[in-house]
Amino acid sequence: MLHSMKPAPRVRQASLKDLSVLVRHRRAMWEVLGDFPSRRLDRLDRIYRTWLRERVSAGVAAAFIADASTGNPVASGVVVLVRLDPSPRDPAHLNGVTPNIISMFTDGPFRRRGIATRIIRRCVTWSRRRGYRRVTLDADPDVAALYRKAGFSRTWWMSKALRS
């Protein structure tokens, strides 16, 4: 029996023209990850849009988008250089700057087709080309397998919520 073969979505580097898609995907990610009030997400959309525009413009972040054959953007992810403490782990980290992957999202019907994996790969390549030898991310435990399969291993980064 012949199976209908849908062409694989094409992954490309996003430009500032794609900001609205990137903000929408980021919001959709948070809607999956938690029960956040929509007013807070509305505010976050505006803040994230400015935050991302500044970083992409400055060349310290890159976003990758997967377009379906219809041209519809169906997945995206972002890599951004973050400033941590200077570390001796490798020469590129002596200044404490580390590429960090954020905002991973794939539309429901397009999941489990390897699209997020391809976006992660593009983020890693972007980082490697800039001389970095380590990439970090904050994984949701439910999807940790995605990152493990892409070669990430667990660290013991910890956090504590502070109550007023």
Give contact residues for ligand COA (rule: CB under 6 A): 29, 32-33, 75, 104-106, 111-117, 139-140, 142-143, 145-146, 149
Dihedral sign of CA atoms 31, 33, 37, 41 in order: negative
Specify the amino acid at residue 134.
R
Backbone angles phi, psi at 24, to 5 degrees: -65, -45
Residue among 35 and 85 whose Cβ is closer to ligand COA: 35
Q: Residue 68 has which token pair?
A: 């379906």
Dihedral sign of CA atoms 143, 64, 78, 131 in order: positive
DSSP state letter for 48: H
Q: How far is the CB of 21 from ligand COA (least distance, A)?
A: 14
Strand partners, 101: 79, 137
Place of tokens 């807070």: 40
Residue among 7 and 91 whose Cβ is closer to ligand COA: 7
Q: How far is the CB of 45 from ligand COA (least distance, A)?
A: 16
Residue among 89 and 148 whose Cβ is closer to ligand COA: 148
With residue 73 as reference, give the H or E element that holds it.
strand 73-83
Place of tokens 């429901």: 108
Q: How far is the CB of 73 from ligand COA (least distance, A)?
A: 13
Residue among 33 and 84 whose Cβ is closer to ligand COA: 33
Q: How far is the CB of 143 from ligand COA (least distance, A)?
A: 4
Residue among 47 and 144 whose Cβ is closer to ligand COA: 144
Q: How far is the CB of 106 from ligand COA (least distance, A)?
A: 3
